[in-house]
A and B are shown apart, each in its own frame.
Chain A
Amino acid sequence: MKFQLGSSLLDACVLSILRNDDAYGYKLTQEVKTVIEVSESTLYPVLRRLTKDGYLETYDKQFEGRNRRYYTLTEQGKKQYQLYYDAWKEFSTRISNIMEGGHTNGEYD
């Protein structure tokens, strides 16, 4: 049973991953994929959008003679992460309550 990840949830995950460490496109995608199923092509629009909205910044570093573009969180991005985190806590608690509250006590099992 697979749950779909909406675009804001995807944004939240990307911001969160980048909180700990800067990352380049490929590495970021691999990390996201360990947690949720995403297609490679999904992530580029997300990164682009987050950058345009000012939550991410990019810089280039040389690696083995070629360019690597790294993504990093901006101050605004950190604040946005916090907003997402709070929203997620509230949302997931409510969902959990419904899911668990659906169980009656042992009698009707």
Chain B
Amino acid sequence: MENMTKQQYITKLSFYLRGMEESEYEDVMNYIQEYFEDAGIENEQSVMEELGSPQKLAATLRAEATIKSANNKREEAESNLQQEKQKNSTLKTILIIVLGIFALPIALPLAIAMIAVIFALFAVLVSMVIVVVVMIVALFIVGIPNVVHSISLFSVSFADGLVALGASLMMIGAGLLMALIVVAIISKFIPWMVRQLTKFFNRHNSRPHLNKEGHIYDEK
């Protein structure tokens, strides 16, 4: 650092401090100015040496100021946010309660209707199952005795007996077929449905699963 006069030093310092907040700037400059004066003219050079270059000094002084004001701003922002959050959450809760009360005349019947629909669907499903089962049972109930009966018909008329036997065998066959289909549906379809349902309900949980090799993986 080449030798400069106190005045040059202070001017340079002022330059490097530009942009600082007005009151801060004044305080700093006053302090430095006073410091020089108290040190006395004979100590000017040593003071400048100790203070370091105007640029470095400005950086040090700025850093302190920036940290302090940044901290203040952050604390202010945080406390503002907290206040806002508190205000918001109580307001929200009140609003939700009020809306809920207003919506009741509509929401309640709607909910009841939805439950009724689900119930009805379920009832339809059950009755469909019952119908199928009854059909199968009926086919067997009719078909099997008819075989016996058709054999006895043979003694009366061969043709009639044949027709009757054929018909009853057809009924038994149809019954068996339907039974097999139903069994197949039950053994495949219902597990699949159960799996879909569990997937649907566990959508938001990520549970660890075991894959084929027995490794644990997370379901996405």
Answer whether residue A92 sits at the interface, using C-beta atoms and an 8 A cutoff: no
Answer whether residue A4 sits at the interface, using C-beta atoms and an 8 A cutoff: no
CB pair B64–A26 under 8 Å, yes or no, is no
| B interface secondary structure, majority | helix
Answer whether residue A49 sits at the interface, using C-beta atoms and an 8 A cutoff: yes
CB pair A45–B61 under 8 Å, yes or no, is yes
Answer whether residue B211 sits at the interface, using C-beta atoms and an 8 A cutoff: no
Contact among B28, B31, B52 with A39 in the assembled complex (CB-CB below 8 Å): B52
CB pair A66–B37 under 8 Å, yes or no, is yes
The answer to whether A48 and B27 touch (CB under 8 A), given A40-B35, A67-B34, is: yes
CB pair A25–B50 under 8 Å, yes or no, is no
Residues 57-85 of A contacting B (Cβ, < 8 Å): 66-69
Instruction: Across the interface, name the chain A residue whose C-beta is closest to B64.
Output: A45
Answer whether residue A41 sits at the interface, using C-beta atoms and an 8 A cutoff: yes
Answer whether residue B152 sits at the interface, using C-beta atoms and an 8 A cutoff: no
Chain B residues with CB under 8 A of A25: 31, 34-35, 38
Min CB distance A102 to B, Å, is: 36
| A interface secondary structure, majority | helix
CB pair A48–B35 under 8 Å, yes or no, is no
Q: How far is the CA of A69 from the CA of B28 in the complex (A)?
A: 12
CB pair B51–A27 under 8 Å, yes or no, is no
Residue ranges of B at the interface with A (Cβ–Cβ < 8 Å)? 27-28, 30-32, 34-35, 37-39, 47, 50-52, 56-57, 60-61, 64, 68
Q: List 25 A-B contacts (CB under 8 A).
A: A24-B38, A25-B31, A25-B34, A25-B38, A26-B39, A27-B38, A39-B50, A39-B51, A39-B52, A40-B35, A40-B47, A41-B50, A41-B51, A41-B52, A44-B28, A44-B32, A45-B60, A45-B64, A47-B31, A49-B64, A66-B34, A66-B37, A67-B34, A68-B34, A68-B38
* Given A66-B34, A69-B34, 15 further pairs, Cβ under 8 A: A24-B38, A25-B31, A25-B35, A26-B35, A29-B35, A39-B51, A41-B50, A41-B51, A41-B57, A41-B60, A45-B60, A52-B68, A66-B37, A67-B34, A69-B31
